[in-house]
Amino acid sequence: MNLEGKRILVTGGTGSLGQAVVRRLLTDEMGRPSKVIVFSRDEAKQHYMRLSYLNRQVATDEIIYRNFQEVLSFRIGDVRDYQSVLQAMREADMVIHAAALKQVPSCEYFPFQAVQTNVIGAHNIVRTIRENDTPVKVVVGISTDKACKPINVMGMTKALQERIFVEANMGRPGAHFICVRYGNVIASRGSVVPLFLDQIARGGPVTITLKQMTRFLLSLDQAVDTVFAAVRHAQPGEIYVPQVPAARIVDVAEVLINGRDISITYTGIRPGEKIHEIMVSEEECYRTIERDGYYVITPMLPELRAIPIEQPALSEEYSSANVTINHAGLRELLLYFAEQPVGGQQ
């Protein structure tokens, strides 16, 4: 799908992923949109995001700066509020739904808040399309590895979001609902690397929950790559999953400490936390294919599956415990991530 002339609504557009999506949209790599709408409830973040683009006037940012002036707009609203979702979607051809409550412990302490944002928010998008004559043709739901075999509130609500979007394809043939699912984004707000770097700068200790804990690792640009791959090629109801490495969190800490006299303290598992994350479950393996370097989970609903899968892409669950890399590989990966732009920054 080419985005030339399209109007794109990015919910949660001031978050780490939302800002990265907006930045990439403004590069015209998938065609020049006619409008990119940042939709979020945080007025301050919108203000600072706008200021960050006003400061982009060096030669390498020429296209982004021009598109910021001509294409980018900001709208204050909340995905929990049906009327604000309706008003925003009347101006959009495509929705990238990145708005979420994503901090696992916070969702455990405030579960209904997570339901309202992660579940009701998704339902409001589907309801808007079903009950109104909106121009939206594609909705991309941003999910998480925690939605796979969920044990915490955040994962449960994201699993429901996936199911809401998959089922939505049954009642609205004119609009395609697709999802992407990925793991820990390096350098995003609340991720371990910024936390560890801050603790190291203060002289330690670096705090880790469990020594054996593993996580998938990818950059913000890899996350956006997954979104764009789904936009280009996903069929209704499919879930795109990137093929990325994983690491023990203690190894991440040790590589960042790099031999300095800084201690590591183990604090115990946090409310709702998993020891290992899974991006494709054993049950999902049987309906997972590979397409252009991504795993693609085909819909559970048989009405949405075009053809039977004779040779699944996976024979066992895609778990962070099974694809861990060593210190050398991790050091190289972190150096690569350090060179990548973060959110709305270059």
**For residues 317 and 78, what is the distance between their CA atoms, to the nearest angstrom?**
35
DSSP class of residue 148?
S
**Residue 18 above 70 pLDDT?**
yes
**Residue 343 above 50 pLDDT?**
no
Known catalytic membership, residue 158: no
Helical spans, DSSP H, in the chain: 16-25, 43-54, 62-70, 82-89, 104-109, 111-114, 121-131, 153-171, 192-201, 220-233, 249-257, 282-285, 327-338
Which residue has better confidence, 59 or 188? 188
Q: What is the pLDDT of residue 342?
A: 46
Stretch 128-142: mean pLDDT, rounded? 95
Residue 265, both tokens: 């303290």
Residue 59, both tokens: 């030669």
DSSP class of residue 175?
S
Stretch 117-133: mean pLDDT, rounded? 96
Reported as a pLDDT band with limits 50, 70 and 90, residue 137 is very high
**Residue 79 above 90 pLDDT?**
yes
Q: What is the pLDDT of residue 57?
A: 58
Least confident of 75-89, 100-114, 164-178: 164-178
Percent of the chain's residues with pLDDT above 70: 94
Q: What is the pLDDT of residue 338?
A: 65
DSSP class of residue 27?
T
Percent of the chain's residues with pLDDT above 90: 78
Reported as a pLDDT band with limits 50, 70 and 90, residue 339 is low
Reported as a pLDDT band with limits 50, 70 and 90, residue 334 is confident
Q: What is the pLDDT of residue 58?
A: 57
DSSP 110-146: SHHHHIIIIIIHHHHHHHHHHHS-----EEEEEEEGG
Least confident of 158-172, 187-201, 276-290, 305-319: 187-201
Amino acid at residue number 126: V
Stretch 132-161: mean pLDDT, rounded? 97
Q: What is the pLDDT of residue 173?
A: 66
Say how many C-beta atoms besides its own lie within 10 A of residue 147's C-beta: 24
**For residues 92 and 88, what is the distance between their CA atoms, to the nearest angstrom?**
7
**Residue 101 above 80 pLDDT?**
yes
Given the residues 6, 45, 102, 146, the one annotated as active site: 146
> Would you call 131 exposed, middle or buried from its count of C-beta atoms within 10 A (0-12, 13-18, 19+)?
exposed
**Residue 67 above 90 pLDDT?**
no
Stretch 325-329: mean pLDDT, rounded? 91
User: 255-274 pLDDT, tens per residue?
Assistant: 999 999 999 999 999 888 99
Q: What is the pLDDT of residue 172?
A: 67
**Residue 62 above 90 pLDDT?**
no
Task: Tell me if the bond preceding 308 is cis, omega within 30° of 0.
Answer: no
- Domains delineated in the chain: 7-182+219-243+278-317 (3.40.50.720)
